[in-house]
Amino acid sequence: MTVPSPPRWQAPKAINRVEWTALPHKVRTAIEDQLGSPVVAAKTQHGGFSPGMAAIVRCADDSDCFIKAVNPDLNPLSPQLYRDEAVFSAALPQRMPVPRLRHVYDDGDWIALVFDAINGKMPELPWAAVDVQRLMATIQTLGTTPLTGDLTRLPSVPERLAHSFGAYRRLAEMPQSLTAWEHGNIDRLVVAAESALESTAGDSLVHLDLRADNIVLAHDGSPYIVDWSWASSGAPWLDKVCFLVNVATYGGDAESFLRSDQLLASVPSDHVTGFLIGLCGMWTEAVAAPPPPGLPALRSFQRLERDATLAWIRSRTGWD
C-alpha cells in the first residue's frame, strides 16, 4: 500500500482586518472609558481568519492591552463566538497560561473583548520541535484544571461534535465531495467517526481549537492559549491530538510526537484514530461548501487540515 506524504506546508494567507480607527466612534469611546485612558497607538494583529478588529493598543497612560471586536456585518456567527469566549475566559483560573479578560463591550451589534496584552509573537511555522514540546507540556496542565464555578456549565465535547462527526454519513450520499480513498472506505469511516464520540467524553477542560493562530509565545518562549470560544469538557488527551493535527498541517511528523507522549501513549489507538476520522469528515464536508461570509481564506486552510489529517489516518489504519 502506498500512503501519500503529508501536504507541503504553505504560508497562511493574510486577511484584511478592520483597523482600530475604523471602529465606530461610540465603540472606541466606550472602550477607552473602560480602559480609563485614550488609545494613542494601535498595532493590528493579522493571525487567524476573522475579519474583525484585533490589535494591541497603547494608551496615553503607557498601559497596553489586546482588543478584538466584531459585528454581524463582518460575519454573522462571530458575535456569538465572542460572547461565548467572554463567558468562558472570565471563568478560567488566573494561574492558567491565558491572558486575563479585563473588559467586555457589547451594544447588541458590536462586541469587543479587552485582554491583557502578551508581549510575544505567534509561533514560527513550520513548528519547531522545541515549541511543540513546550506546547505539549502546557496542554498537559490544561487537563488538570478543575471544572468549578461557571466551568461546570461548559458544553461537553460529544455535544459540540455530534453533528460534525456525522459528516461522513451525510457525505456517503455526496460521493463527488469525497476523495477516492474516502469513497472506497466510506462505511468504515462512518462507523469510526460516530463511534469516536463516546471516547471524547470526560471531565477535563478542553480548548478544542488548538492551532498556531490561537497560541502566543512570550519572549521567554512560554506559550499562552487564546480564543476560548470552543471551550468544553471532555477527555484530557483531545487537545494534544488537535494540536498535533496543526503540527501535521504545517508539515511536521505528528505521529512521532504522539508516540513519545506519555499521556497519548496510554490512549487506545482506535480512540485517537476515530477522533482523527471524525475531524477529517468534518473538514471534508466543510471544504465542499462555499466560504462563510467574511472568511474567504478559511476553506483553503480547512483543506490543508483535511489533507494532513487524511494522510495521517491512512498511515495509522493501513486501509487500502
Per-residue confidence (pLDDT) for residue 129, from 0 to 100 = 96
Three-state secondary structure call for residue 197:
helix
Q: How far apart are CA 108 and CA 110, in angstroms?
A: 6
Region of poorest pLDDT, from 27-41, 188-202, 290-304: 290-304
Beta-carbon-side half-sphere exposure of residue 203 (alpha carbons within 13 Å): 4
Which tens digit of pLDDT belongs to each residue from 38-72? 999 999 988 778 789 999 999 999 999 999 999 99
Three-state secondary structure call for residue 88:
helix
Give the torsion through C-alpha atoms of 158, 159, 160, 162, to 10 deg.
70
1 or 277, which is more confident? 277
Q: How far apart are CA 80 and CA 152, in angstroms?
A: 20
Beta strands in 156-298 (DSSP E): 204-206, 215-218, 223-225, 232-234
Give the pTM: 0.93
Q: How far apart are CA 170 and CA 288, in angstroms?
A: 12
Q: How far apart are CA 142 and CA 263, in angstroms?
A: 13
Concatenated DSSP letters for 98-145?
SPPEEEEEE-SS-EEEEEEPP-EEPPPSSPPHHHHHHHHHHHHHHTTS
Of 2, 294, 251, 314, which is closest to residue 124 (Cα–Cα)?
Answer: 251
Query: What percent of the chain is modeled with pLDDT above 90?
Result: 86
Which tens digit of pLDDT belongs to each residue from 133-175? 999 999 999 888 989 888 999 999 999 999 999 999 999 999 9
User: Which three three-digit cell numbers place residue 144?
Assistant: 488538570
Per-residue confidence (pLDDT) for residue 102, from 0 to 100 = 97
Residue 99 sits at φ, ψ, to 5 deg, of: -70, 145
Does pLDDT of 2 surpass 50?
no
Three-state secondary structure call for residue 38:
coil
What is the Cα gyration radius of the chain?
20
* Angle at the Cα of 130 from the Cα atoms of 124 and 134, rounded to 5 degrees: 95
pLDDT band at 241 (very low <50, low <70, confident <90, very high): very high
Of 70, 279, 287, 55, which is closest to residue 174 (Cα–Cα)?
Answer: 287
Q: How far apart are CA 168 and CA 186, in angstroms?
A: 7
* Count of H-run helices and E-run strands, the chain: 12, 10
User: Which three three-digit cell numbers place residue 32?
Assistant: 477607552
How do 120-121 and 223-225 pair as beta strands? Answer: unpaired
- What strands, in cross-sheet order, belong to the sheet with 101-106? 39-44, 53-59, 64-70, 111-116, 101-106
Of 57, 29, 72, which is closest to residue 292 (Cα–Cα)?
Answer: 72
Does pLDDT of 1 surpass 60?
no
Q: How far apart are CA 241 and CA 46, in angstroms?
A: 25
Strand partners, 57: 42, 65
Task: Give every CB contact of residue 176 below 8 A, 6+ residues apart in sequence.
Answer: none
pLDDT band at 119 (very low <50, low <70, confident <90, very high): confident
**CB of 208 within 8 A of CB of 157?**
yes
